[in-house]
Structure 1
Amino acid sequence: MIVGHPLTSFSSFKSNVSRRTLATIMFLTAPFVLAQTGSQVRWKEILKQPDTWYASPDATRIADNVLVYQRESGGWPKNIDMAQPLDEKAKADLAQHQKDIDSTIDNGATYIQLSFLARTFTARKLERHREAFLKGFDYLLKAQYSNGGWPQFYPDLRGYYKHITYNDDAMIGVMTLLRDVAEKRSNFLFVDDERRHKASVAVQNGIECILKTQVVVGGKRTVWCAQHDEITLAPAKARTYELPSLSGGESVGIIRFLMSIEKPTPAVIDAIKSAVEWFQESQLTGIKWVATPDNSKLHGFDRIVIRDPSAGPLWARFYEIETNRPIFVGRDGVVKYNVAEIEDERRNGYSWYVDSAVSLLKDDYPKWLKKQQH
């Protein structure tokens, strides 16, 4: 256990400039979208509605919007609030972008659209929604690498877009959707048997990729990087401040997915136990990651680490692979071991500490262990 490290995790405070919130801000400024006038449902809440709502006129309107945004590849671009009303001019403008190659699984794109379309088709049986779902489903199958991983973007495979991407639960989101299809979950009963079988195979291949990409340090399995090289499977760099490292964030979602496997193999069980052991050993205690008002800073506040013996455990977003030390990187790409040493914009605009493993260690893992003993 790392005790009292001056760099630790993410407390209950969540900045309004986190990556997901930035995506929401982008929703509001996305091109072709009119000001919200009628819909009471926002895109970020699209999968949280009661079952009856998916048969409503508003749900149908939004589903038809989703079809307008779908690319010829079958996927969707990210960071767009597709619940916003569109007039005919906006739809015509969007039609000019159907050949764009910006389809992605980043920030929930594509698999959230598919989950939504499955619900609207189940509720109203409109054929156009089924056809769009199947086109998007086939896109996910086509985008998968032969080694079982998924790139962040497809067919645009430039730079880090081509890496196998666990970042922000991208690959886990895709695999969860495909498993729901394979297991005939209620909203996916309309999917044909051939596609259902392909979904099952894709999920199994994805699990094999997860096992192969678990980082081994000194002969011991640890956790995962946020992205891995699509050929060598080694931890890989994304943006300048996202270096090859051990992820204290994305690895939680991977473990939870593995724990949800009904009949895990010995290899899966070993991967889970090894990763949980890493989290237990790598937790940071005795500190809080807090925001203090500061109008001189870009975002109007400054995030600092304070000592607090009563604070719950935290984890750094990234750990150096060789040393297991928390690392922090600004836009210059230089590794720092103290978050205070990176520039204001990156320090206050990124989730350098996380606490998502707390419930994993306290609740989920003990329940899973107990289940394995029966």
Structure 2
Amino acid sequence: MFRQNVTWKTILAQPTAWYKSPEAQKIAANVLLYQHSNGGWEKNLDMVKPPKTPPKETTIDNGATTTQLTFLARVGTPECRAAALKAIEYLLAAQYPNGGWPQFWPLKKGYYTHITFNDDAMARVLTVLREIAQGKPDYAFVDAAQQQKCATAVTKGVACILKCQVVLQGKKTLWCAQHDEVSFAPAKARAYELPSLSGSESVDVLRFLMGEKPTPPVAAAIEGGIAWLKANQLTGIRIEKQGDDKVVVSDPSADPCWGRFYDLETGKPFFCGRDGIKKNSLAEIEKERRTGYSWYTNRGNQLLKDDYPTWKKRKH
């Protein structure tokens, strides 16, 4: 019987055996229909259900393309493997010569052309390509020539990450959610997404780097980012939902958290509504943006408690 409880959100969190089941193959048949002729996929579509319209623009935003590629590789039928190989070609073709990835490819005018760390887009792509290059079991069908192309793409991606890391007062800090594709400088996206240090996206960038060979440049980038996260964590507060609103409340027992955006000059968290004007507190922006965006994050906690200590032991 078809398992209706398997949602697209949980498609990569199923038991290993499930991916060989009829249920998985039925979903895979839908996913194949959603694939664009260029090898990529759209975002924000429930691919457990059959498509109603032909695929349009293709992207790496919100887990698009990387999620489908990974899922199809796990299902592993000849049709799924062929589609996964096409998706790998899409990712390789979309990479800039400088190692970064735009949010959409083919390129879409606007901030979408920036090197995109937002919503972990570039970290996801690089993680998948690294697993392919390493010959991980899910990608055992990928030949040596394609593995080498993926390895080269990862090397270029790491170099891009190192160039994008923001240096303030001589110290390596974090990354912006997006960087200019030519200058590597922090860049603006939507009106409320100003150039800044990202307390959220930087976490997966650091986690990805921890999976790389700890060369001096890579190790220095990690140590700089970790030092910044330790020095700029926010304590004694938590976000509470009150009715249809969100407010910051005092809570001495709350786990540390970080702001989504930190000012490049003051180093303090800021908040921004659709007017594009920086505010000092969540309460100062309109309710629609207070409730419709993640302004605080606790993602750094696991990185500091688990990933970083594990990396330090492995490094030495």
Give secondary structure in 1 for the equivalent of 2:90: helix
Q: 1:54 aligns with which of 13, 16, 19?
A: 19
| Aligned residue type for 1:107 | N
Match in the other structure for 1:128: 79
Match in the other structure for 1:103: 58
Answering whether residue 176 of structure 2 is matched by residue 225 of structure 1, we say: yes
Alignment of structure 1 residues 351-370 onto 2, 5 Å: 351-370=294-313
| Aligned residue type for 1:116 | F
**Matched residues in 2 for 1:362 and 1:111: separation?**
27
| Aligned residue type for 2:251 | D
State the 1:38 CA deviation: 5.9
Match in the other structure for 1:284: 234
Match in the other structure for 2:46: 81
CA offsets per residue over residues 202-252 of structure 1, 9 Å max, x none? 011101111000001112111000000111110011111100000000001
**Matched residues in 1 for 2:288 and 2:106: separation?**
31
Give secondary structure in 2 for the equivalent of 1:285: coil
Match in the other structure for 2:217: 267
**Matched residues in 2 for 1:366 and 1:308: separation?**
27
| Aligned residue type for 1:285 | T
| Bigger Rg, which one | 1
RMSD: 1.3
State the 1:309 CA deviation: 2.4
**Matched residues in 1 for 2:304 and 2:159: separation?**
24
Q: 1:182 aligns with which of 133, 146, 169?
A: 133
2:102·2:113 contact (CA, 8 Å) conserved in 1? yes
1:107·1:170 contact (CA, 8 Å) conserved in 2? yes
Q: 1:307 aligns with which of 229, 244, 250?
A: 250
**Matched residues in 1 for 2:174 and 2:106: separation?**
28
Q: Where in structure 1 are there 5+ consecutive unaligned residues?
A: 1-36, 294-300
Match in the other structure for 1:327: 270
State the 1:302 CA deviation: 1.6
**Matched residues in 1 for 2:153 and 2:91: separation?**
9
State the 1:157 CA deviation: 2.4
Match in the other structure for 1:65: 30
Match in the other structure for 1:29: none
Q: Where in structure 2 are there 5+ consecutive unaligned residues?
A: none
Match in the other structure for 1:22: none
CA offsets per residue over residues 35-65 of structure 1, 9 Å max, x none? xx86331111111122222122221111111
State the 1:371 CA deviation: 2.2
Give secondary structure in 1 for the equivalent of 2:80: helix
CA offsets per residue over residues 251-306 of structure 1, 9 Å max, x none? 01111111122x2100000000000010011111122221112xxxxxxx221112
2:233·2:256 contact (CA, 8 Å) conserved in 1? yes
Match in the other structure for 1:149: 100
**Matched residues in 1 for 2:138 and 2:248: separation?**
45
2:214·2:315 contact (CA, 8 Å) conserved in 1? no
Poorly superposed stretches of 4+, deviation over 6 Å: none
Question: TM-score, normalized by length of structure 2?
Answer: 0.96
1:152·1:161 contact (CA, 8 Å) conserved in 2? yes
2:101·2:116 contact (CA, 8 Å) conserved in 1? yes
2:102·2:116 contact (CA, 8 Å) conserved in 1? yes
**Matched residues in 1 for 2:184 and 2:255: separation?**
34
CA offsets per residue over residues 295-325 of structure 1, 9 Å max, x none? xxxxxx2211122223221110000001101
**Matched residues in 2 for 1:56 and 1:361: separation?**
38
2:240·2:246 contact (CA, 8 Å) conserved in 1? yes
Relative contact order (alpha carbons < 8 A, sep ≥ 6): 1 or 2 greater?
A: 1
**Matched residues in 2 for 1:238 and 1:181: separation?**
31
| Aligned residue type for 2:151 | S
**Matched residues in 2 for 1:137 and 1:232: separation?**
27
Q: Which moved more, 1:345-354 or 1:302-311?
A: 302-311
1:39·1:58 contact (CA, 8 Å) conserved in 2? no
**Matched residues in 2 for 1:40 and 1:57: separation?**
15
Answering whether residue 72 of structure 2 is matched by residue 113 of structure 1, we say: no
State the 1:160 CA deviation: 1.0
Answering whether residue 207 of structure 2 is matched by residue 256 of structure 1, we say: yes
